[in-house]
Amino acid sequence: MTGNTKPLQRAAMVAVIVLISSVLYSDGGRIGKVYTVSPARGEVVVSLSKDTKAVRMGSKMYLKLGERVVVMKAVFPMQTVVKCSLEKKYRPEIGRIKKGMPVFAYDGEPGKGPGKAEAALKAGTEKTVVGITMVYIPGGSFFMGAETDEGNEDEYPRHKVTLSPFWISKYEVTEKQFAAIMGYRTVTGEESPVMPVEHADWHESVTFCNRASERAGLRPVYIIERLRAPRNDNYDEGYQWHVRWNQSLKGFRLPTEAEWEYACRAGTTTRYYWGNEFDERYAIKTIGDSNNYDYCAPVGSRLPNAWGLYDMISNVPEICWDWYSKDYYTENEQVNPRGPATGDNQKVVRGGNRFLSEDRLTSSSRMSMTAGYSEMSAGIRVVLPAE
């Protein structure tokens, strides 16, 4: 090669600098999550998400500590992580920042907090996706479980949990919605637009989520493997099921147990989401001939909670993602917990039904069901990520 190569060299150097000084993020949305915290230096290292656009060094981002917003600036971006420095006025809060907390792109004005990324949506905001009405649940912290003199043994100890925002279905999935997505009816043989699905099992529930995602043009979050196996508790038509959750994808999924309780409580700390005494205006308990139904009620036939969710307690038990363990709860604060890594083939179900005693129908009450069987006449409520 002949001629002056210096301009090409300078251009290459600029390209490298731009690459190194950029981070990846979704415009106005989630960037990633906290990876490490250095209180002495006032620094936070953020692990970046994959589906992103580029922003340069000095870009601002924020995370939420309850109702307080903490803003920080990128000081050393790299390929998959970025070192951030907290703005001076936020540094006293650094001791509250925990590994795993979600981090968001900052699109507000300096000194005025985040803009549309945080403020555009309020609790109870609705949208409809493939015929399912979804309700926005803001991120935040709450105390999960029950006090030792109020709950059952598997509800102890009461512990703090912090969650990212998400969308959850306003009602339990109905028979008509199920048939429209799955292409077949449930075991009841009906396609009622108002009666909830019952007798669903966990395998059928994750399959429903994947097919709803496909219908909505979203990538399914569950990777499902069905391997030939002898009949056992995880049996379904001669197959052993192995299900993994790709948390980077944005499709429909089941709520985690923590998300379910947080959405159920809707900011309350009482035994039920309406108070400390059972109230049939909010939850079904007595069924008579005049109601024209035997096991459960039509969706939305009782009063909703403060975030506009119906039938969170005592209509049909609702299936969650988590493996069940009676000893899973700990006294340590948790961020976006997803349950035990494994379980004795028992999955968490929440909400109960009218046949249970009132002390088993509280916001913190826990139950379980075998993954491959519809033994509890369970129903389905679905979630979409907010980011």
Shared domain check, 267 and 352: yes
Residues 90 and 237 in one domain: no
The amino acid at residue 49 is: S
pLDDT recorded at residue 53: 59
How far apart (Å, rounded) are the C-alpha atoms in residues 50 and 119?
24
CATH number of 377's domain: 3.90.1580.10
**pLDDT for the residue 122:** 84
| pTM, full prediction | 0.69
Rounded Cα gap, residues 134 and 319, in angstroms: 17
Any domain includes 201: yes
Under 8 Å between Cβ of 337 and 330: no
Contact 26/105 with Cβ under 8 angstroms? yes
Q: What is residue 231's predicted lDDT score, i.e. its pLDDT?
A: 54
DSSP per-residue string spanning 332-352: S-EES----S--SSEEEEES-
Q: Are 310 and 300 within 8 A, CB to CB?
A: yes
Q: Is 201 in the same domain as 311?
A: yes
Within-domain flag for 232: yes
115: nearest Cα among 125, 123, 124, 105: 105
Burial-class residue 360 by CB neighbours within 10 Å (0-12, 13-18, 19+). middle
SS3 263: helix
Q: Domain ends where: 81, 101, 118?
A: 118
Question: What CATH number is associated with residue 17?
Answer: 2.40.10.170
Domain that residue 268 falls in:
126-385
Residue where a domain terminates, one of 84, 118, 152: 118
163 & 95 share domain = no
**In this structure, is residue 139 part of a structural domain?**
yes
- The dihedral region occupied by 267, where left means phi > 0, alpha psi between -120 and 50, and beta the remainder, is left
**Same domain membership, residue 31 and residue 149:** no
Maximum distance among all Cα pairs of the chain, rounded to whole angstroms? 95
> How far, in Å, are 61, 79, 154, 249 from residue 50 at the CA level?
16, 10, 37, 10
pLDDT digits (tens, 9 = 90+) for 193-224: 999 998 898 999 999 999 999 999 999 999 99
Question: Do 284 and 143 lie in a common domain?
Answer: yes
**Residues 365, 283: Cα–Cα separation, whole Å:** 14
Query: Taking a C-beta distance cutoff of 8 angstroms, is the pair 216, 384 a contact?
Result: no
Q: Is residue 157 reached through a cis peptide bond, with omega within 30 degrees of 0 on the bond before it? A: yes
Residue 1 lies inside a defined structural domain of this protein: no
Helices (H), 105-170: 116-119
Residues 350 and 235 in one domain: yes
- Considering the domain architecture, whether residues 257 and 153 belong to the same structural domain is answered as yes
DSSP string, 67-88: TEEEEEEEEEE-SSEEEEEE-G
Total domains in the fold of the chain: 2
Residue 31: inside a domain, yes or no?
yes
**What does DSSP say about strands 159-163 and 334-335: parallel, antiparallel, or unpaired?**
parallel
Q: Does some domain include residue 225? A: yes
DSSP state string for 175-242: HHHHHHHHSS--TT----SSSBP-SB-HHHHHHHHHHHHHHTT---SEEEEEEE--SSTTEETTEEEE
DSSP 8-state symbol, 119: H
* Residue that is last in its domain, among 118, 140, 167: 118
Q: What pLDDT does 279 receive?
A: 94
- The token pair at 239 is 């197959």
Among candidate residues 105, 104, 86, 106, the one with its CA nearest the CA of residue 96: 86
Taking 50 as the pLDDT cut, the residues of the chain under it are 1-3, 5-28, 109-119, 233-235, 288-292
pLDDT at 39: 87
Using CA atoms, how far apart are residues 111 and 303, in angstroms rounded to an integer? 40
Residue 178 main-chain phi, psi, to 5 deg:
-60, -50
Residue 88 is assigned to a structural domain of this protein: yes
| Domain assignment present for 244 | yes
Measured in residues, the chain has a length of: 387
Domain match, 326 and 348 both: yes
Pairing outcome for strands 166-169 and 383-385: antiparallel
Q: Are residues 244 and 375 in the same domain?
A: yes
Same domain, 132 and 79: no
* CB-CB contact of 220 with 251 (8 Å): yes
Dist CA 289 CA 303 (whole Å): 21
Render pLDDT for 134-153 as a digit per residue (tens, 0 to 9): 999 999 999 999 988 888 89
Does 199 share its domain with 73? no
In this structure, are residues 34 and 103 in contact, taking their beta carbons and an 8 Å threshold?
Answer: yes
